[in-house]
């Protein structure tokens, strides 16, 4: 996960663990969650939806094709 470098994927900066917990230090991404932004807009236009889906698809393509990440 530390080797993932892509504009649409949050970067894992550091990881540590204790007996009971895992600690992930992630890149700060301002703006909040996508869901909250959609709710705040109340209307999600087709061009904006296209932009968002394209970014998600680019991130997934990077994970699958360039980094060999497989998930279920």
Cα R_g (the chain), whole angstroms: 15
pLDDT of residue 41: 85
Inter-CA distances, 8 with 35, 43, 48, Å: 16, 23, 16
Q: Could you give the count of Cα atoms lying within 13 Å of 12 in the half-sphere of its Cβ?
A: 10
pLDDT of residue 16: 96
Instruction: Report residue 67 as tokens.
Output: 């980094």
pLDDT of residue 12: 93
pLDDT of residue 2: 76
The span from the CA of 32 to the CA of 40, in Å, is 11
The span from the CA of 49 to the CA of 47, in Å, is 5
**Tens-digit pLDDT profile for the chain (72 aa)?**
778 889 989 999 999 999 999 999 999 988 888 888 888 888 888 999 999 999 999 999 999 999 988 877
């Amino acid at each position: 996960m530390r080797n993932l470098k892509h504009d649409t994927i949050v970067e894992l900066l550091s990881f540590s663990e204790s007996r009971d917990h895992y600690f992930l230090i992630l890149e700060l991404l301002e703006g909040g969650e996508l869901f909250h932004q959609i709710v705040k807009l109340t209307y999600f236009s087709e061009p904006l939806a296209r932009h968002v889906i394209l970014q998600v698809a680019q991130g997934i393509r990077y994970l699958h094709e360039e980094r060999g990440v497989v998930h279920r």
